[in-house]
Structure 1
Amino acid sequence: MSRLIDSFHRRIDYLRVSVTDRCDLRCTYCMPKGFKGFEEPEHWLRHDEMARLVGLFVSQGVSKVRLTGGEPLLRRGVTDLARQLTSMSGLHDLSVSSNGTQLAHLAGPLKEAGVHRLNISLDSLDPACFARITGRDCLTDVLQGLKVAREVGFNPIKLNMVVQANVNVSEVVRMVAFAIEHGFVLRLIEPMPIGDTGRATAGVNLTRLGEQLADQYGLVPEILGRGAGPARYWCTADRRMSLGVITPMSQHFCEACNRVRLGVDGTLYLCLGQNDQVPLGKMMREGASDEALLDAIHQGIAAKPERHEFNEKPQQIVRFMSQTGG
């Protein structure tokens, strides 16, 4: 089997696939209030088109795929797509990132479709703060979704908390206690200057905060980590709960990057913090053969940038996170 190796000798074995750029929340760091610049539905890849492109990546050694958005559980037939992907030989891990609002009625079907893992965005356990960040008063729906997800057998479940200065940083301790109580993996994330919304979001140095929390709760470094992500982890002695920090701003992890992203229109994004991209969807709809698409994929991977420049060029990325895929 061929492998996707970039010019910095990084093996790319992880693909994140946006199935929609729509979302039922308006998180302040992700999408501006009143945003109307969504991709036209006729430009969305159909499920069979997504499966074709994912299959090409899998044929080149990609073994981990995550369905993202926007909010992927809003896309009609997403469980059917998941079933198509989990049937692919060579794909060993299919996961879903979600805001959790639709999870109560879709956790079971996702599990039945073969989804292995869930990442759920949860920035606050305080209803007022949650509504202020997301634009909706629906915390109870998310918590119910988490309950159902545990009941149908998802384990581990990762909670992603974007830590914002003067907004929810005071709730981190409460979130750690919540994760310990329920056996969740909690990942604290520094906001990135992606789009105007990202640049307007003040973060916290999580490199230091993670170490402080680990000391406070008696957590020990988790050498092997949790999955394919960039987080550094600590865990409880019984390994029931893990705490991770994702630090693109205070301590970047680009030298170990193993991923690329596929937008809902089939655009291949090579780095969150750069503008390099390959129009695979456009090529496919213009009749490109699998061989031509594979050639474009390999050329794209060869051109993958060494690292982001969020600190040096914070104004560089004008697209919003929801347009790239989480």
Structure 2
Amino acid sequence: MNSLIDRENRHLNYLRISITDRCNLRCLYCAPDGRIPRLPHSQILSYEEILRLVNIGIGLGISKIRITGGEPLVRKGAIDLLRRLTAIPQLKDVSLTTNGVLLEANAQRIFDAGIRRINVSLDSLQRERYAHITGYDMFDRVWAGIQRAHEIGFAPIKINIVAMRGINDDEIIDFGKLSLTYPFHIRFIEYMPIGNSRTRSRDQILAPEIQDRIQALGELIPVENGQNDGPARRFRIAGAPGEIGFISALSHHFCDRCNRLRLTADGKLRACLLSDHYEPFRETLRNGGTDEQLINIFKTAVSKKSAKHQLCSDDSQPVRDQMQGIGG
């Protein structure tokens, strides 16, 4: 088997696929003021194009897939795509990231499609604040979706919180308490400056401070990461059914063990979330490109993957591309 191994000897076996740049929320750290430019339908990869790239990626060692957006559930046919992916025996892990707005109505179909692991973005447990952060009064729908997924048997259910100073950092303890009641994996994510958003670096609150606050709930007992786990540093409070994790892309970057590639909705392969460099697939796909040509695009992207993301440098610049187009 060919392998996607970069110059730092990192084996890139994880492909995150954005299937749409559309979203039914307008989160502060993702959406700019005013009208959000949308990709024309003609520029979005079809499901057949995505599946072709997945199968080529599998031949290069891809074994883990996560479907993202935008909000993936707003795209027609998304659940059928999930079903087709989970039916591929070479894929060891297929999961979904969603904002949860459409989760309650679709949870059973998603489960029946073979998905067991879901991530739900939830940046506040307070209804009015949730509306402020996301632009829409949807907290009750999201929480109902999480509860429905829990009832059906999804595991793990990961709840992703982008911690922002002066915006939701007073809820850190409340989010941590969820792990004492539910078997949820609570994930605190450092805010990263990506695209033109309504938040700034001054809103950052880094993982060490978050962890220090969480310890008020009790001793954080380290949990060993599994083979298919992401970069979160995982902990559990004694007796808790759930976990607490910290994703510290800035304060303790995990570039040295990054195993990810990202395919954007319009067919750009990005080797790093925090870099604007990409290799384009769409033109080759639609102009009769051979599998060998597509394999070479994968390999070119991997060969250019930097040792560290650009925000590690002293003269770092924010990523220019919009988050909803890149995928989470």
Same fold (TM over 0.5): yes
- SS across alignment from 1:197: coil
Aligned to 1:39: 39
Does the CA contact (< 8 Å) of 1:225 and 1:232 recur in 2? Answer: no
Aligned to 2:65: 65
Q: Structure 1 189/316 Cα, relative in aligned 2: closer, same or farther at 3 Å?
A: closer
Does the CA contact (< 8 Å) of 1:26 and 1:33 recur in 2? Answer: no
Does the CA contact (< 8 Å) of 2:130 and 2:139 recur in 1? Answer: yes
Q: TM-score, normalised by structure 1?
A: 0.96
- SS across alignment from 1:299: helix
- Listed as ranges, the matches of 1:241-320 within 5 Å are 241-311=242-312, 312-320=314-322
Gaps of 5+ in 2: none
> What number of residue pairs does the alignment pair up?
326
Offset at residue 7 of structure 1 (A)? 0.8
Between 139-148 and 79-88, the greater mean CA deviation after superposition: 79-88
Aligned to 2:178: 178
- SS across alignment from 2:311: coil
Does the CA contact (< 8 Å) of 1:61 and 1:90 recur in 2? Answer: no
Q: Report whether the alignment pairs 1:25 with 2:25.
A: yes
Offset at residue 314 of structure 1 (A)? 4.1
Aligned to 1:323: 325
What is the letter of the counterpart of residue 19 of structure 2?
V
Q: Structure 1 316/215 Cα, relative in aligned 2: closer, same or farther at 3 Å?
A: closer
Offset at residue 271 of structure 1 (A)? 0.8
Distance between the aligned counterparts of 2:100 and 2:270, measured in 1? 25
What is the letter of the counterpart of residue 290 of structure 2?
S
What is the letter of the counterpart of residue 260 of structure 2?
R
Does the CA contact (< 8 Å) of 1:192 and 1:199 recur in 2? Answer: no
- Listed as ranges, the matches of 1:41-190 within 5 Å are 41-190=41-190
Offset at residue 226 of structure 1 (A)? 8.5
Distance between the aligned counterparts of 2:20 and 2:167, measured in 1? 28
Distance between the aligned counterparts of 1:44 and 1:97, measured in 2? 19
Q: Structure 1 17/128 Cα, relative in aligned 2: closer, same or farther at 3 Å?
A: same
Distance between the aligned counterparts of 2:216 and 2:127, measured in 1? 29
Offset at residue 215 of structure 1 (A)? 5.8
The root-mean-square deviation of aligned C-alpha atoms, in Å, is 1.6
What is the letter of the counterpart of residue 243 of structure 2?
S
Aligned to 1:205: 206
Q: Structure 1 177/316 Cα, relative in aligned 2: closer, same or farther at 3 Å?
A: closer
- SS across alignment from 1:45: coil
What is the letter of the counterpart of residue 270 of structure 2?
Y
Does the CA contact (< 8 Å) of 2:101 and 2:141 recur in 1? Answer: yes
Q: Structure 1 8/253 Cα, relative in aligned 2: closer, same or farther at 3 Å?
A: same
